[in-house]
Amino acid sequence: MEDGKLTVRAVERALDILLCFTDESDLSLTEIAVRVSLHKSTVHRLLASLEGRGFVLRDFATDKYRLGFRIWELSANMVHTHDPAMILLPEMERLRDQLDETISLYVCDGLERVRVQAVESNQAIRRVAPIGARLPLYVGASSKILVAFAEPQLLESLLKAHNLPTALERTVFLQQLAEAKELGYATSVEERELGTAAVAVPIYNQAQQLVASLAVSGPSNRLTLAKMKEHAPVLIEAARRMGKMLR
């Protein structure tokens, strides 16, 4: 049993190392050790195993590590699945060109939302949306959509969660969810980041199951409430077309 625990712990640590590269392209041994809070000797052994399997590569010129080709082999297989991030990308690009703002696709994962796809605006000042970012479910337009249109159990779990801010007024949050369901879209202005705004709508697949949230985001001085209300019907129609592409 003890050996089994050690094995699982090693797997978890190796996965934590891979997750370090979600927001950085290359990292040194020291930088990785700091991020995962492990001794450098332990990280070095894990990196050696990952490197041997092709999941990370070491640049001997800089002595830094980056993701290996085996990661890309795994991700390439997603193209052959019903992955919304790949299937909906062309439609997201068309929507970006139509609205000239950043388009993001979010899915729910536990009590968080994950940005699984994004197409950034071509404007000089734009909303930068890194793919893979994990965000809380209690703030932001897409969070409201993913909670409002989900099964009631998700809202119950969210309200009971220990990480729910004490300053959050439950009645206001519930009112926002009710408005999102009534209107078919949700908005947010500087709720998570200063100077940004977003409007989001739900995407249902052919079986009428909630799959994701489709969002348009940008600088709040450009993406005003009036502009978001103007974008909402376009976004709803785009989500309807996208939903027909998903099983």
Per residue in 151-195, pLDDT (tens digit) is 999 999 998 886 666 666 788 899 999 999 999 999 999 998 899
Residue 1 — very low, low, confident or very high, per pLDDT cuts 50/70/90?
Answer: very low
Query: So what's the pLDDT on residue 8?
Result: 85
Q: Is the pTM of this model over 0.75?
A: no
pLDDT tens, residue by residue, 32-56: 999 999 999 999 999 999 999 999 9
Dump pLDDT digits (tens) for 125-152.
Answer: 887 778 888 899 989 999 999 999 999 9
Which of residues 81 and 229 earns the better pLDDT score? 229
User: How do residues 192-210 score in pLDDT, each as one tens digit?
Assistant: 889 999 999 999 999 999 9
The letter for the amino acid at 144 is K
Chain centre distance of CA 231: 22
